[in-house]
Amino acid sequence: MAVKAIDWMNYLNTEKGIARFKGAEELARLLVWWGMEARYQPRTPEELVAEMDEAGVEATVICCVKMASYKQHKVIWETPYEEVVELMEKYPGRFIGFAGVNFFANITDELRDIETAVKKYGFKGVYLHTYGYGIPLNHRLCYPVYAKCEELGIPVSMQVGHSAERMPNEMGRPMHLDDVALDFPGLSIVGSHTGWPWCEEMIAIAWKHENVYMDISAHQPQYLEPNVVQFLKTRGRT
């Protein structure tokens, strides 16, 4: 049986989920900047599934991102695991949970939560957004997370490239993943959002390491950089 499309990266666009997003000033400004205020409206779980069916999407990954403010030094956006679990249980196979990490918290507690999310609730991966914490992707604080993901046999995905939020871009340089891939050859690593404006770095790392992948989420096809399209058509094909 043919496999339908899988949406690799999404957020919880329910009423509670969007309210939390709009409640974070640093994130709410993006809706104005991107002209998405009218389109970014909450959906009920039934509406989400109906939209997926209409688009031919078999399943979607819901990232429980724990995004921090670089200036306020606190988490400003977080999706509770239990809300995603509720969706997963109501619509088996349609929603895939990815855990998040708060690097301001005790990392041991965060690792315990990841293991619980995976073993008890069936989460399939971890998603990182390190910009607001002021740490690059090869920072020592990230390494326990990578080790836990490798131990559990789950992928880790992270935003790479610039930060649309008012946070330091350097934290997301794709070249930082070279160290991670070398130190964790058994870990599946997915760099999200093409790595723009450092697409060449993301392409180079994805080509060099068998365990590193690049996704094109958040970029409409007509806006993809020519080097990304070329890579997808040639050396980037599996």
The 10s digit of each residue's pLDDT in 59-111 is: 999 999 999 999 999 999 999 999 999 999 999 999 999 999 999 999 999 99
Mean pLDDT of 147-159: 98
pLDDT at 226: 95
CA torsion 83-129-74-16 (nearest 10°) is -20
CA atoms of 148 and 138, how far apart (whole Å): 15
pLDDT at 28: 85
pLDDT at 2: 65
Q: Where are the beta strands (DSSP E) in the chain?
A: 5-10, 57-63, 66-69, 74-78, 95-99, 125-128, 156-159, 189-192, 212-214
DSSP 157: E
Q: What residues does 57 pair with on adjacent strands? A: 5
* 3-state helix, strand and coil shares in percent for the chain, rounded to the nearest 5: 45, 20, 40
Amino acid letter, 161 = G
Q: Check pLDDT > 90 for residue 32.
A: no
Q: Which of 48, 60, 50 is nearest to 13 (CA)?
A: 48
Q: What residues does 62 pair with on adjacent strands? A: 10, 97
Q: Which of 190, 234, 193, 226 is nearest to 209 (CA)?
A: 190
Alpha carbon distance, N-terminus to C-terminus of the chain: 20
Q: What residues does 78 pair with on adjacent strands? A: 66
3-state DSSP call for residue 115? helix
More confident residue, 54 or 1: 54
Q: Check pLDDT > 60 for residue 158.
A: yes
CA-derived radius of gyration, the chain: 17
The tens digit of pLDDT for each residue in 174-233 reads 999 999 999 999 999 999 999 999 999 999 999 999 999 999 998 888 999 999 999 999
In order of start, what are the domains of the chain with their CATH numbers? 5-233 (3.20.20.140)
The tens digit of pLDDT for each residue in 34-45 reads 787 777 888 999
More confident residue, 166 or 210: 210
Count, residues in the chain: 238
Residue carrying structure tokens 């870990």 = 187
Q: Check pLDDT > 70 for residue 1.
A: no
Q: Answer yes or no: are the C-beta atoms of 30 and 165 closer than 8 Å.
A: yes
